[in-house]
Amino acid sequence: METSKNNSILLISNDNFIIGMLNGYGLANQLTVSTKPTEEQISPDEVENSYKLIIVDIRDLEKKSTKAYLKVLEKINKDSKIPICAIFNHADQQDIQEESWIDFYLEDPIMEKLDGYLREHFSYNFHPFPDRRNNDRRNRDRRNGNNHEDHAEASSVTGSQKLNVSRKTHRDHYKTGPFTVNISSQAVYFKEKNLNLTRKEFKLFTLLAADIDHIFTPQEIINHLWPENNRANKSDLYQYMHLLRKKVEVDPYSPHWIITLKGIGYRLNIKPPIESINTERQSIRSV
């Protein structure tokens, strides 16, 4: 590890349970966890180049001070490129999700979701965390020659797209519109630019790319991304869909490539945007 920033997390919270859990998790995984109460002000100079991640417990902030606090964190995110995770109450603070610069939103069960996020974004060999029963079952399946996860993933993809998934995922790489999917490196390129997707984002994108004519329901996607986690829900899906769109779309709030069909689900739209077509036509005319 080159600097302390590589394994340091700042937790801004007054919740002793969350503080205790994250401190224990940090000890198990050699992560340095610093804590700060929410009533204390935070400044960009205080955290510059010091942390790999900042987690802020929005639930503890008074409503009138939330926006001001978030403004400071937005500046930290912009200037220091430190990802910000927000712990919030989905029922009471849905407007917080409009803050597109926040990297990840956490709600109950907070520690399980945070564990998943850290595994995606931190390059460490993590110590097993709460879900020991699933780990034990995976180990038994491997010893018995059964891959339960592969079976669960296969069962989450139904109907006509099964053949398409099989055909595509058995190739090392394939093209879908302007996207190139490389299976061996788990990378997706947009016009030769690597989108640097995480494992979960890659898994989500390749599901949508498996059958561009199919509309994937939220439950189909949840079953595919979390085949053994019956606690995963639409909120988890919305999180990862937003993270994926931030990397794929020009404007994640007005998506072109990954579109939502209201009340039905999601699909990958490989048609180029109209403005892109017009630009290409103009360039052809000028030749």
On whether the pTM is more than 0.85, the answer is: no
> What confidence score (pLDDT) does residue 204 get?
94
> What confidence score (pLDDT) does residue 273 get?
67
CATH 1.10.10.10 location in the chain: 156-274
Place of tokens 């606690």: 231
> What confidence score (pLDDT) does residue 27 get?
82
Question: What CATH class does 156-274 carry?
Answer: mainly alpha
Question: How big is the chain, counted in residues?
Answer: 287
Alpha-carbon distances, residue 188 vs 16, 169, 197 (angstroms): 41, 13, 7
> What confidence score (pLDDT) does residue 190 get?
93
Q: What is the CATH T-level fold of the domain 4-121, as seen in this structure?
A: Rossmann fold (3.40.50)
Structure tokens at 58: 């929005």
> What confidence score (pLDDT) does residue 97 get?
59
HEC profile for 17-30? Answer: HHHHHHHHHHHHHC
Helix (H, G, I), strand (E, B) or coil at 277: helix
> What confidence score (pLDDT) does residue 194 get?
93
Q: Are 242 and 249 in contact (CB under 8 A)?
A: no
Q: Is 24 exposed, middle or buried (0-12, 13-18, 19+ CB in 10 A)?
A: middle
pLDDT at 153 over 80: no
Which tens digits make up the pLDDT trace of 120-130?
Answer: 777 655 555 44
CATH 3.40.50.2300 location in the chain: 4-121
pLDDT at 245 over 80: yes
Which tens digits make up the pLDDT trace of 196-234?
Answer: 898 889 999 999 998 898 999 999 999 898 887 777 888
